[in-house]
Each structure stands twice: as C-alpha cells, then as structure tokens.
Amino acid sequence: MFIEQPPQIVRVLYPRAIWRMSPNEKAVYLTFDDGPIPEVTPWVLDLLDTYHIKATFFMVGDNVRKFPETYQMVVDRGHRIGNHTFNHIRGFEYLSNNYLANTDKANELLQTDLFRPPHGHMRLEQYYVLRNKYKIVMWDVVTRDYSKRLNGRQVLRIVKKYVRNGSVITFHDSLKSEKNLKYALPRSIEWMLEQGYEFKLL
C-alpha cells in the first residue's frame, strides 16, 4: 500500500501538492507519465476517445523533442500537458540547481503550469522553488503498470482495491508499461464506469 496509495505521512512532505481531489465527489482523474512515445501514446489516445475521457499527460521533455508529432496528437485531442523533467531524473540524485535547470529545459517545449516529479522524488529546496512555478501533482493511486513483477490482472486489482472518490490515478504510456497497460487500462475504465465514477480533467 505504501507504493500504491501513499499514506498521510508521505503526503505531508509536500503539503501544497495535489494528491487527491475532492473526496465528496464521485470522480476520478486519469494521468499518464513518461511519454509521449509513438508505440504506446496513440493507442492510449484512441482508447480515451472511445470513452470520451480527457486525461493529463506528464511528459518527458526529451521524448517531446524526439516525437513532436506524438506530442501534438495529445494536444490536438484536448488533453492537458504536465512537465515530468527533460530526462526523467530523480530529484534526490541531483543538485537542486541542476534539477531545476532540467525542469526548465523541459518547459521550454511544454509550456505548462503542471509538474510531477519522476518517482515522486524532490528535495525540499526543489519543492519550494517548483511550487511557486507550477501546480505540483502527485497521485492518490499509482497502478504500478511499469512493474515487471506484476501482470495486467494484478495491475487491474490495484485499481479496484485503491480507487476512491477524488483519486488521481497514475498510469504510464511507456514501453516498459505497454503490456500491463493494454490489459489493465480498458478494463479499469470499464470497471470505474460500472462503479459510477465520472472522469474529470485536472
């Protein structure tokens, strides 16, 4: 549970970050990290179109640089864009100036007011600077679709176990998530619709 749904003790580390939206509204918020890539992102977009769902894509700047057409597809279909650094780097492993410069480099391409730190890692100094530039979006449920230790059925079970009112749900439009994502995402959407959840955009 510590990974799939961060406990309150973790959430207080970044008190102005968005972890969960209103618990009083039967709505959920889909997000996707680590794209865009042409092998997976267009499939996600087509699936979301099928259900008339809008989502937020936290993009790696270098992927945007390499795949501008895929990036533009996300924008053209009306989804929100968030910054996920230029090189998908962990804040704890970098000096703050270098980490912030990497984030700024990504935003030259993305031009967004949303930020999600890769792996959820930020030094406090990084957090205090970034929160003045961005709405920092964390998550209420991370599906772990990227894990080689899990299969698609297990990812789906995580969704069913932890999703609740206001959940910000994290999937990944990446190669390492592709197999689990293609099994779990459509089934997760169907299950959440059956439970009466509305899909909203951050």
Name the token pair of 88.
Answer: 């998908």
| Residue of 33, 34, 145, 173 marked active site | 33
Which domains are seen in the chain, by residue range?
8-199 (3.20.20.370)
Q: Could you tell me where the beta strands, DSSP code E, fall in the chain?
A: 27-33, 56-59, 80-83, 114-115, 135-136, 141-142, 168-172, 198-199
The answer to pTM > 0.95 is: yes
Note if 172 is an active site residue: yes
Asked if 34 is an active-site residue, the reply is: no
Which residue among 79, 88, 172, 173 is the active-site one?
172
pLDDT in tens, the chain (202 residues): 568 999 998 899 999 999 999 999 999 999 999 999 999 999 999 999 999 999 999 999 999 999 999 999 999 999 999 999 999 999 999 999 999 999 999 999 999 999 999 999 999 999 999 999 999 999 999 999 999 999 999 999 999 999 999 999 999 999 999 999 999 999 999 999 999 999 999 9
